Amino acid sequence: MKLKAIIHEAEEGGFWGEVPAIEGCATQGETIEELLKNLHEAIEACLSVDLEHITLSKGDRIMEVAM
């Protein structure tokens, strides 16, 4: 899966980035390299689902889909 991120220079120094396709997915970093690492972690956290709180009906299936 490939997602587009918008990178901004922070007024106080460093950078911050957001992923428009995932509402609320944003992070920051002192360098571009740190920002990219943090973006990967933020995207993973935003897309992770806690299956313990989901009620499945008989016949429902959970599948992982790679894009």
Residue 66 lies in a domain: no
pLDDT at 11: 95
Q: What is the pTM of this model?
A: 0.76
Number of domains in the chain: 1
Residue 21 lies in a domain: yes
Residue 62 lies in a domain: no
Q: Over pLDDT 70: what percentage of the chain?
A: 100
pLDDT at 50: 79
pLDDT at 67: 74
Residue 58 lies in a domain: no
Residue 65 lies in a domain: no
pLDDT at 21: 96
Residue 67 lies in a domain: no
Residue 39's domain comprises 6-53
Span between the terminal Cα atoms of the chain, in Å: 5
Classify 48 in phi/psi space as left (phi over 0), alpha (psi -120 to 50) or beta. beta
What are the residue ranges in the chain where pLDDT is below 50? none
